[in-house]
Amino acid sequence: MRPRLVIAIDGPAASGKGTVAKKLAEHLGVPYLDTGLLYRAVARDVEARGGELEDATAAVSAAQSIDAQSLCDPGLRGPLAGDKASIIAKIPAVRAALLDYQRNFAKSSAEGAVLDGRDIGTVVCPEADIKIFVTASDEARAQRRYLEHQGRGENVAYEVVLEDLRRRDARDRDRSVAPLEAAGDALHLDTTTLDADAAFAAVLALIAAQITR
C-alpha cells in the first residue's frame, strides 16, 4: 500500500503549479486544494459587502466566514481577481484566519492531499512529505496567461500581461508574512521548456526519486 502523502506545491503565477497539482491529485486519488481560490474568494466577499481590500477588519471577517461551496464561482478566475487576492493576502490576520481551513483540508483524507499556493511548503504544511517549487521564466508565464486571455476572447496586450504578472509576483515576494519563496527542503521544477505533460512526468520522476531515497 502507498504511504499517506501530503504534497505541497508552490510557485509564482502561471508557473503551471495548478496544472501539475491537479493532475497529481487525480493520479494519486487524493483531494486537491487550490489555496489561491481562498484568497480570491476573500477579496470577492470584501467587495461584495462594500468594503475596501486594504481594510484588515473587513478582510478578516470575510476570511473567517469563507464558504467552501463558493470556491467554484467562475468569477474567481482571471487576473483581476488574482490581483485583488494579492492585496488582501498581504494582511497577516487574513492569512492566519485561513490557516485552519487549509490545514484541516491537508488532514481530511487518509490517503493524503495535494495543496498548491505560495506558502504551502513554508507555512501551511511545513511537515509535508513532498514539497515542489514550480517556476518558469517571466516570459513563458506571461505567454501562458496571454493565451488564456485569447481563449476567452479578451484583447489584452502581451506586454500588459507581463507587467501585471511581475507586479503581482513582486507583491507576493516582498510581503512581510508568508512571502512567495521555496521551502529549504523543496524540490525545484522549471517548466519553461516543458509542456504540461512533460511537467507532470518530471514531477512524478522527482517524487519517485524522493520516495525511494
Ligand X SMILES: Nc1ncnc2c1ncn2[C@@H]1O[C@H](COP(=O)(O)OP(=O)(O)O)[C@@H](O)[C@H]1O
Q: What is the distance between the alpha carbons of residues 205 and 195, in angstroms, rounded to a whole number?
A: 15
Taking the CA of residue 182 as centre, how many other CA atoms within 13 Å lie in the half-sphere pointing to its CB? 14
Report what 84 binds from ligand CDP, ligand X, none; CB cut-off 5-8 Å by kind: none
Q: What is the distance between the alpha carbons of residues 133 and 120, in angstroms, rounded to a whole number?
A: 10
Q: Is 117 in the site for ligand X (CB under 6 A)?
A: no
- Asked if residue 192 belongs to a known ligand binding site, the reply is no
Q: Is 119 in the site for ligand CDP (CB under 6 A)?
A: yes
Chosen residue from 44, 118, 131, 144 binding ligand CDP by CB under 6 A? 118
Q: In the bound complex, what is the minimum distance in angstroms from residue 212's beta carbon to ligand CDP? A: 29
Nearer to ligand CDP, 82 or 112 (CB): 82
Chosen residue from 6, 11, 32, 86 binding ligand X by CB under 6 A? 11
Question: Pattern of binders to ligand CDP over 55-94, x per CB under 6 A?
Answer: ---------------------------x--xx--x-----
Q: Which three cell numbers stand for residue 91?
A: 494582511
Give the list of residues 6+ apart from residue 151 with CB closer than 8 angstroms, or none: none
By the 10 Å C-beta count (0-12 exposed, 13-18 middle, 19+ buried), 1 is classed as exposed
